[in-house]
């Protein structure tokens, strides 16, 4: 597994970098042997350190863990335990999902865009008679993504593993595009236009 350890306005010692690499290899080997890469970022906020771990654990599967503490080592331990706990909880379902991938069709390719929220410093609600297409015409970022064929439970699992707010997928039961999302009250919402 390729592990990148970086710090935002924080100097990291060689001992911390070695410890992070060793522990991430251990976690990957114990819970998920074919993880591809991990990005571990340390930063400092006021009187505590934060650690953010993003793991690309396979085809379309992202894991995210965060930790904060008075020192960088403890913040990393907190974030690593967050990742390990998620992997323990979902390990069986992830393995079942990967076994099923061989029987499924290849995920559809799609593009994901991030659009500018404001136009020339003007709030997006006050578009001065312009259409929404004109108000949100500036693309800030564009990435390649996949729309996988999943069950609703698998989509919720992937959304949780990646710590995302929303996920679009093709429902494996109906073949229709569906969306699951995290509601403001903490529950999961599901949009199924095929009903």
Asked if 146 and 108 count as a contact pair (C-beta separation under 8 A), the reply is: yes
- Alpha-carbon gap, residue 148 to 171, rounded angstroms: 9
Which pTM value belongs to this model? 0.51
Span 148-195 CATH architecture: 2-Layer Sandwich (3.30)
Which residues partner with 181 through β-bridges?
Answer: 166, 189
User: Helix crossing, 72-101 with 152-162: angle to 10°?
Assistant: 160
Q: Tens digit of pLDDT per residue, the chain (195 long)?
A: 788 888 888 888 889 889 988 888 888 777 766 667 888 999 988 888 999 998 887 766 788 889 999 988 999 999 989 888 887 776 777 667 666 666 666 677 888 777 777 655 555 454 555 555 555 568 888 888 888 888 999 999 999 888 889 999 999 888 899 999 999 998 999 999 876
CATH topology of domain 2-101: Double Stranded RNA Binding Domain (3.30.160)
CA-wise closest residue to 161 among 100, 103, 82: 82
Domain ranges of the chain: 2-101, 108-143, 148-195
For 89-135, write each residue's pLDDT tens digit: 767 776 676 666 666 666 778 887 777 776 555 554 545 555 555 55
């Amino acid at each position: 597994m390729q592990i990148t350890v970086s710090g935002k306005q924080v100097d990291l010692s060689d001992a911390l970098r070695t410890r992070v690499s060793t522990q991430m290899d251990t976690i990957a080997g114990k819970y998920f042997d074919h993880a591809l890469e991990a990005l571990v970022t340390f930063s400092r906020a006021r009187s505590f350190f934060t650690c953010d771990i993003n793991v690309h654990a396979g085809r379309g599967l992202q894991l995210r863990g965060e930790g904060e503490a008075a020192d960088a080592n403890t913040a990393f331990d907190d974030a690593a335990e967050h990742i390990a706990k998620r992997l323990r909880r979902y390990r069986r379902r992830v393995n079942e999902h990967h076994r099923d991938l061989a029987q499924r069709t290849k995920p559809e390719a799609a593009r994901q865009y991030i659009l500018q929220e404001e136009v020339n410093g003007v709030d997006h609600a006050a578009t001065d008679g312009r259409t929404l297409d004109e108000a949100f015409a500036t693309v800030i970022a564009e990435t390649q993504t996949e729309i996988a064929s999943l069950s609703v439970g698998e989509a919720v699992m992937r959304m949780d593993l990646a710590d995302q707010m929303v996920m679009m997928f093709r429902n494996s039961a109906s073949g229709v595009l569906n969306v699951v999302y995290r509601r403001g009250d903490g529950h999961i919402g599901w949009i199924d236009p095929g009903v």
